[in-house]
Amino acid sequence: MDKSQSVIFPDLHDWEIVSVEVDRDGGVVSIDLCSEGRVEEGVLRFQGVKEFYLSGMRMQNVILDFVLFDTDVISEDFSRCCRLLGLDRLPVAVLHGDVMVYIEPSVGAELACRASSVSFFGSDGTSRSFPVSTTPGPEQKIP
């Protein structure tokens, strides 16, 4: 897949999706994760969820890629994410100030989400938030 215009968060490569909790009233989706061998654990939290897609959940759900978009880009991942969420794939920005996440599986669950923000909370007390950039560009690297 062409990842040149997308944002990849490689720290989640080979992590597993353990469980998913959906709060429809609050517009929040929380995903419990663990690293290979359960060395680390974390929670991926989507807030202000507008669209959400999850399919193929199994007993084991290994992440190949975690891709975060904050603007419309030309990539297979972005197009796939739009299709899964039922969004028209147009040349104009479809995000309107939101972020979109695509989780490509090695095995199991495939996930797409459009939300106002995404945060990761590690079991070691670290956290990373991905709020909407005030001046989004086609590419936003995650430290």
Q: Which run of H or E residues covers position 62? A: strand 62-69
If one counts every other C-beta atom within 10 angstroms of the C-beta of residue 58, the result is 11
pLDDT at 75: 84
The pLDDT value recorded for residue 123 is 87
For residue 92, give the DSSP letter: S
Calpha distance 45→115 (Å, rounded): 10
Mean pLDDT of each 10-residue bin along the chain, 143 residues long: 41 93 96 93 94 96 90 82 82 68 96 92 79 40 36
Domain parsing of the chain, residue ranges:
7-124
pLDDT number for residue 43: 94
What's the CA gap between 17 and 100, in Å, rounded?
18
Predicted local confidence at residue 143, as pLDDT: 35
pLDDT at residue 94, rounded to an integer = 57
**What pLDDT was estimated at residue 126?**
75
